[in-house]
A and B are shown apart, each in its own frame.
Chain A
């Protein structure tokens, strides 16, 4: 039996198909949740970072990652682990991830906060800056609820999670 080598890039390609269970336009890679992938012979280890500690989607994501990696014909064992450190921060979301969030009607998190800790987000639909914060807390731990006074649409935004706060 010949041994098929597993390339780490192939695993990353498979992880591209694992989406956030509640935002199917963004992959877990683009959310910045994958910290490290290692391959040892036929065993693959995926180290991940939780976005929010109480997020109920974490076990679902874990299972979806296992299933996706097993699609590689040469993979025998998969271990998926959530790390305590480093902490996930919202600036880990890629440009592609930000674009995917907007497609879903969610504004990406601001890259920077003002010195007083406040931040500003534009409407994901019409790009207007004329928006109001309705609720810092939203339908999931990572989102806030806002309203656009220009196009009169309610929308959501990813909460900034940055080390300085």
Chain B
């Protein structure tokens, strides 16, 4: 492949990963609306989900500017096999459905949100000096908003694990054991990862930096720092996904699909 073509595809792949990650992450967060443990948390997590959807939207907008089609279509009208999000981010919040008998797991939400936000912060830090200027500009803005998200989820993570409340601690540990075996999917840059790093679009070694960032937090609450991070269910960057994503896409695109030409 010619250099220019390789560069273009690397930029688009990276933007799709960033957009699709934030999009499904925001959707899972939004499913907690009205269900969060208390009203202040409902306001906070809804606000974070709204910010995150804004981040997904600006990444889709960058793709639109590169001729990849309308941002709304990119968000709503792509089948699961074309999505690049990490598999751990699409996992359902728990048994049930948000309209009927949701039995969602708040410990899983806290663990996944904290782990993901820490990983996103590392990527966004790196993207601020990306060789792709529009992405570097967007990253500066995202970083300012992300500061508050990271503060929030870190606080929950530390408070629940440091609570010495047996039920809270055991649920948090179970959630960590559920999240880590698939969390490498968040660090993966997919099949064009090497090119992305060589082209200076983003720095590599995200997993190592993530471990460095969370280690002192784990230590502060007495957790072992042997991280068994894997991609048990596969690499979402290559279009490998689960039924959870299929179901989520069907729900979230229901209104869009009812009239694709409508102006909202």
In the complex, residue of chain B having the shortest beta-carbon distance to the beta carbon of A136: B148
In this complex, how many residues of chain A approach chain B with their Cβ under 8 Å: the count is 25
Q: Mark B120-139, 1 if CB is under 8 A from A, else 0.
A: 00000000000000100110
Residues of B within 8 A of A129 (CB): none
| A165 near B137: Cβ-Cβ < 8 Å | no
Cα(A85)–Cα(B51), bound, Å: 18
| A135 near B147: Cβ-Cβ < 8 Å | no
| B51 near A84: Cβ-Cβ < 8 Å | no
Cα(A159)–Cα(B52), bound, Å: 17
* B138 smallest CB distance to A (angstroms): 6
Cα(A139)–Cα(B50), bound, Å: 11
In the complex, residue of chain A having the shortest beta-carbon distance to the beta carbon of B40: A135
B44 at the A interface (CB under 8 A): yes
- Contact residues of A: prevailing secondary structure: loop
| A137 near B145: Cβ-Cβ < 8 Å | no
* Closest A-B pairs by Cβ, 9 of them: A54-B54, A53-B54, A137-B44, A85-B137, A137-B47, A84-B137, A87-B141, A165-B147, A54-B50
A74 at the B interface (CB under 8 A): no
In this complex, how many residues of chain B approach chain A with their Cβ under 8 Å: the count is 26
A-B contact pairs, 28 of them (CB 8 A): A50-B141, A52-B51, A52-B145, A53-B51, A53-B54, A53-B57, A54-B52, A54-B54, A54-B55, A56-B50, A84-B134, A84-B137, A84-B138, A84-B141, A135-B44, A136-B148, A136-B152, A137-B44, A137-B148, A138-B43, A138-B47, A141-B50, A141-B51, A159-B148, A161-B144, A162-B144, A163-B140, A165-B144
